[in-house]
Amino acid sequence: MAPQVWAWREGRVKKIKNFIDHMLLLFSFEKEYFNKEQINSEFVGHPLLEDKELEDVDLKQIIGKKKALISIFAGSRISEINILTPILLNFIKLMKVKYNDITYIFHSTKENNKLVNSYIVSSGLLNCMVVSDDNTKAHILRKSIFAVSKSGTVSLEICNAKIPSIIFYKTGFINFLILKLLVKTKYVNIINIAAKKKIIPELLQKDCTAENIYKHVNNFLDNPDKIKIQITNIEKILNTLKTNKPSSELASNFLNKILYS
């Protein structure tokens, strides 16, 4: 699969050309870039954008009362969780003043479940819980009225589920400076990159505060038309990124064609 040299460390493409015959592309807009670099490539699509059948789950047994759900994605690295979870919990405290009928579900890996839960317990919030089972997380996402997510590929899953969202990220100052030097794109979210405009709000570094997250989420929830516009714009972009067959099948067909031609 093609490394995202169009986004960061662009100089790598010169080295790649020396030992790569063909690239398999996750995103359609990458084709133009690799054509310009005279690298043979084939768009096969991203597995996260494929609609998959889910096993049945009785969410009432997990969540209990019929409350609205907001999905929270604090990251999968311990360093991310330690930086971002306190910000997210403060955001939830701000939300609680106006919205007392929302349950906040933290989507976590099994390895990080106890860590995330320890932050929730320390906060004293009773309207939060952590879920680690992949099938259950997928069901909860589809039932959510909104998603607040760390920047990353999980945003594709959120968009594919047609859930309105914002993204956020914050790292150490030195790491941020390094990333700023390496990253070449105007946006960090893949939907925004493909659209060449900001469809999904990005709250990064100094903008990644509980107050800013609350401001954006509240604005969306107060303006249903804004949610509809975001979902409509996302669907237009997803239509250019999706394929009519599973990415694994397209990749296999292309490799067979190359190997046996």
Region 215-243 average pLDDT: 96
Per-residue pLDDT tens digits for 196-228: 999 999 999 999 999 999 999 999 999 999 999
pLDDT tens for each residue of 10-67: 556 666 667 777 788 888 888 777 777 777 778 888 888 887 777 787 777 667 666 8
The answer, yes or no, to whether residue 235 has pLDDT greater than 90, is yes
- Domain ranges (residues) in the chain: 12-45+247-259, 59-240
Kindly state the tokens that stand for 127.
Answer: 């309207």
Which of 27-31, 92-96, 138-142, 158-162 has the weakest average pLDDT?
27-31
pLDDT at 61: 67
Q: Are the C-beta atoms of 214 and 2 separated by less than 8 Å?
A: no
pLDDT at position 180 is 60
Exposure on the CB side of residue 179, measured as CA atoms within 13 A: 14
* Lowest-confidence region among 95-99, 101-105, 186-190: 186-190
Q: Which residue has the higher pLDDT, 193 or 92?
A: 92
Kindly list the distances between the CA atom of residue 38 and the CA atoms of 20, 21, 137, in Å, as whole numbers in the listed order: 11, 11, 41
pLDDT for 37 equals 72
Q: Please state which CATH number belongs to domain 59-240.
A: 3.40.50.2000
